[in-house]
Chains A and B, each alone.
Chain A
Amino acid sequence: SQTIHQWPATLVQPVGSPLSLECTVEGTSNPNLYWYRQAAGRGLQLLFYSVGIGQISSEVPQNLSASRPQDRQFILSSKKLLLSDSGFYLCAWSVSSGLTDTQYFGPGTRLTVL
Chain B
Amino acid sequence: GQQLNQSPQSMFIQEGEDVSMNCTSSSIFNTWLWYKQDPGEGPVLLIALYKAGELTSNGRLTAQFGITRKDSFLNISASIPSDVGIYFCAGRHLSRSQGNLIFGKGTKLSVKP
Contact = CB atoms under 8 A, between A and B. Distances in A.
Given A102-B48, A107-B41, A107-B42, A42 B99 contact: no
B92 interface: yes
A44 B88 contact: yes
A41 interface: yes
B2 interface: no
Say whether chain A's binding surface is mostly helix, strand, loop, or mixed: strand
B43 A43 contact: no
Interface residues of A, number: 25
A101 B103 contact: no
A81 interface: no
Name, among A6, A34, A44, A59, the residue most crowded by chain B CB atoms within 10 Å (CB to CB): A44
A100 B30 CA distance: 12
Interface in A41-79: 41-46, 49, 59
